[in-house]
Structures are given as C-alpha cells and as structure tokens.
Amino acid sequence: MAKYYSIWGKPPMSKTMCKSFFKDIKSRWPLGHQLTEEEKAKLILMMKRYYVSPLYPQLNEKFLKVKDKITRIVYGEGIYREPTFYFHIEGEGAPRNFSVNRLLCFSSGKTHESCNRRAAVLEAFQNSIFSDKVEWKKEQGYIPGFSPMVHAHHVDGKELLTLFTKFLVTIKHSEENLINKLYPEHMNFKTCHMAYRDGIGWCFSSELGLDIQKQWIKFHRRNAEYETLDPKTHQELTSEEIKFNTAIKHEVQNILQ
C-alpha cells in the first residue's frame, strides 16, 4: 500500500509528489533567502514528522531537542556549493546544517542508508573515485571555491557502470557475487563491509572493503577518461540517458512477457 505524506499544509500526497512540490517551492528562493516565519514553521513541522534515519535514530532526537530554539533558517550554499539549509539555534554561534536531503527522501522505501544492497555497493564504488575526479579537475585548471562549478563526466564508452562491468570481468566475479561478499544481508551493518556516512553516503570501511576499494581505484585510474561539463548540461545529459534506458527496459520487458 502506498504511503502518503502531508507537507506545507497540503493534503496527503505521495513521496514523489511531495518531492516535486518542495522542489518547486525551493526554486522560488534565491541563495541566501531567509525563510519567513510561516515558511520556517512549515519546514520545522516537515522535519519533525519525516526527518528520520533507520541507521542513526539519534539524528531525529538531536533535531527535536533544538527545534523550539531555532531562530531563523537560511537557504544557502553548502561546502560543495549545493543548495542547503542552515538552522540558526538560540545560544549557538554557528548554524547547524541538518541533512535536509535525507528529509526530502522521507522515510518510506529504500533510500539512503536503507537503500537496497546493489545501490549501496554501487554508491561505495562511485564515492571511491571522488578524490580522483577532483584532482583531475584541478589538473584542468579548476580551483575549488573560485572557479565556476564543473563536473568531471565519464566520456561515452567509458561510463562508470561500463568500467564497473569491465572490473567484474577482470576479477572474474559476477555482480551478484560481489554484492553478497560486500553486503551479505540488507540492513545488517555488522556483516557489511561498508559504512554509511551522513552527507557522503556509502563508503568502504572494513579491511576487506578497503582492499577491494584500493584495487578498484587502480583499475579505474588506468581505464577512466573524463570531460568537463557544467552542472546543468551534465544533469540534462544524465536525465536524457535515464529516460532512454528506462524506455528501452520497458520495451524489452514487454517483448519478453
């Protein structure tokens, strides 16, 4: 049965509709916008209801302890230049940056640290090469914090998933087998060779996981090739690719029924 959420004083909506609605709300705010008292009250209520984590239940507790002491909320820019919210707390010098991205996915389904095992493992592989991508951008003249934001995009034919598939062939393991080794049981974090880090996502953690990561980084460095794209173009390109692949998937599924 579908789960519904009530945000911003609206009637209950699906998670997808809520995310779309709130995205539209944010699009009206410039960076640096201080939420009005009405907007602040609505966001606080939204977080009170849906700011939860199956892995870190204390996150919601931390927010609830200070929610009545929030003096203002500013829609600003995060450390990676991503739009985010800063919560100013009475008696505290620096604002707090609660992960509203966690909130926007809400608590139903498999998102963030409760996402399915395959998504978690792929994210760990993706996060492993983050530093390499930043270094490559610097080699192209990019200066973090000063240069206009650009993304290091894998060129056609050497996409991340293409390289991951090639990596599996090289180590002679199926994707399913590797996932079972790294994340044997969903939501069992004691046997998992990865850890979820708030604000970053899934990363390799145990000795076995870090050994796999080391070999993946070496393989990726040898085979990867990038091009620089501005964030908007990158987003549009990725969106079109997802739509195309989804359409192909549905067509083939219909054929094979």
Q: Mind listing the pLDDT tens digit for each residue in 18-40?
A: 888 888 888 899 988 999 999 99
Closest-CA residue to 207 (of 217, 196, 199, 195): 195
* Rounded CA separation 89/93 (Å): 8
pTM for the model stands at 0.64
Domain closes at, from 104, 133, 163:
104
Q: Is position 109 within any domain? A: no
Closest-CA residue to 102 (of 205, 200, 2): 200
Say if CB 84 and CB 78 are below 8 A apart.
yes
Q: Is position 158 within any domain? A: yes
* Rounded CA separation 223/170 (Å): 12
> Domain count of the chain?
2
Do residues 227 and 134 share a domain? Answer: yes
What does the pLDDT look like over 61-84, one tens digit per residue?
888 889 999 999 998 877 656 678
Give the CATH number of the domain where residue 74 resides. Answer: 3.10.450.40
Do residues 86 and 129 share a domain? Answer: no
Domain closes at, from 58, 82, 104:
104
Do residues 252 and 183 share a domain? Answer: yes
> Phi/psi of residue 82, each to 5°?
-90, 145
Domain closes at, from 65, 82, 104:
104
CA 118 vs CA 108, 110, 211: distances in Å: 18, 11, 19
Domain boundaries, position 145: 115-256
Do residues 88 and 176 share a domain? Answer: no
Do residues 8 and 134 share a domain? Answer: no
Highest mean pLDDT among 8-17, 73-82, 99-108: 8-17
| H or E element that contains 163 | helix 160-171
